[in-house]
């Protein structure tokens, strides 16, 4: 019997899709600088590969329960928000909104609340998300 | 994860991207390894701090994946506490890509000096660890063995497996 391959990813990543069918996360990521995209991709790759097992600080809570953010430090502080699942909480993460943190404030404002709304939209209609599209 | 390896090979054609990615990964990997090594020894952050002559808050900072101001001096202090040695080397990007594909908690664990040297001595000074060496007992196909051991194929030197392995 072959053991599970430890190099295989444990989680699937998804992106929120807006009402017009646009991948909001992809569009936001395309607007980032190359180095920011690289730093974000490392964290997403590790999240997909291992979840938070090895890197518990990769995800931190937001004021809104059930919504977490990825912290990417640098000249611009990136805080894209995501949730576990929300279809399968054991095997998936879904990126909900692209966010920057400027002077202790989220840009866009109330991003965590918007993320929660989007999470509910996906719970109601699983077609409002798509497999994560990598930008580099 | 072969998919990730292929993706990174393509993406790393961009020098700026490749350096940013690897710098971020290595920062995260060092932080993760400190935590893994501490937990492997059953230590609290306070116990590691005492062993490394640091404050607990400092250990907490070093275990944070956002930390990016590593110094060799700090790493050596931690190495002394863990009874390990620090290896700093320049590496090819392909080596880095394989490290990324293989990283997990198990791959970051290290046994400390005394236990390591005992095992090393009783293991014919490493010769039995040679995967394709004469002492190996392999009854499965090499590709299966590679998968089940969680190793990347590129890590292994290929030797013609013509001999019958009992």
ipTM of the complex: 0.92
Residues B94 and B39 placed together within one structural domain of the fold: yes
Residues B43 and B65 placed together within one structural domain of the fold: yes
pLDDT given for residue B160 in this prediction: 40
- Compare CB distances from A42 to B28, B63, B147 and report the shortest one's residue: B28
**Residue B18 domain-assigned?**
yes
Residues B100 and B138 placed together within one structural domain of the fold: no
Which residues in chain B are contacts of A5 at CB distance < 8 A?
1, 147, 150
Q: Give chain A as a DSSP string.
A: -PPPPTTS-S-EEEEEB-TTS-BHHHHHHHTS-HHHHHHHHHHHHHHHHHTTSS-GGGEEE-SSTT-EEE-B-SSSEE--EEEE-SS-TTTEEEEEE--EEETTEEESTTHHHHHHHHHHHHHH-GGGEEEPPP--
Mutation site, A54, A59, A133, A135, interface B, largest B CB count within 10 A: A54
- CATH no. for A12-123: 3.30.2310
* Mean pLDDT computed over B96-110: 94
Give the count of domains, chain B. Answer: 2
> What residue segments make up the domains of chain A, in order of their start?
12-123
What are A72-99's pLDDT values in tens digits?
998 889 999 999 999 999 999 999 999 9
pLDDT given for residue A56 in this prediction: 80
**Residue B118 domain-assigned?**
no
Residues B9 and B42 placed together within one structural domain of the fold: yes
Which residues constitute the domain of residue B152? Answer: 123-166
- Compare CB distances from B32 to A9, A45, A54 and report the shortest one's residue: A54
Residues B55 and B23 placed together within one structural domain of the fold: yes
């Amino acid at each position: 019997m072959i053991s599970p391959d430890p190099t295989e990813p444990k989680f699937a990543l998804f992106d929120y899709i807006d009402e017009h069918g646009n991948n909001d996360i992809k569009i936001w990521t395309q607007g980032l600088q190359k180095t920011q995209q690289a730093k974000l991709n490392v964290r997403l790759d590790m999240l997909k590969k291992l979840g938070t097992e090895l890197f518990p600080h990769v995800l931190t809570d937001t004021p809104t329960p059930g919504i977490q953010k990825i912290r990417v430090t640098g000249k611009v502080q990136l805080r894209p928000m995501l949730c576990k699942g929300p279809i399968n909480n054991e095997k998936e993460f879904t990126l909900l909104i692209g966010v920057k943190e400027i002077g202790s404030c989220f840009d866009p404002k109330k991003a965590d609340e918007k993320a929660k709304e989007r999470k509910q939209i996906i719970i109601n209609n699983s077609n409002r998300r798509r497999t994560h599209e990598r930008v580099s | 994860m072969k998919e990730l390896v292929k993706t990174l090979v393509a993406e790393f054609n961009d020098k700026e991207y490749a350096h940013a990615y690897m710098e971020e990964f290595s920062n995260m990997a060092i932080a993760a390894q400190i935590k893994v090594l501490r937990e492997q020894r059953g230590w609290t952050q306070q116990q590691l701090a005492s062993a490394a002559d640091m404050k607990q808050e400092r250990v907490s900072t070093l275990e944070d994946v956002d930390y990016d101001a590593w110094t060799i001096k700090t790493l050596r202090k931690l190495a002394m506490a863990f009874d390990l040695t620090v290896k700093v080397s320049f590496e090819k990007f392909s080596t880095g890509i394989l490290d990324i594909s293989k990283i997990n908690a198990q791959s970051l664990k290290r046994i400390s000096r005394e236990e390591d040297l005992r095992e090393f001595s009783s293991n014919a000074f490493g010769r039995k660890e040679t995967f394709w060496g004469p002492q190996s007992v392999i009854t499965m196909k090499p590709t299966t063995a590679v998968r089940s051991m969680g190793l990347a194929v590129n890590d292994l030197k290929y030797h013609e497996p013509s001999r019958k392995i009992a």
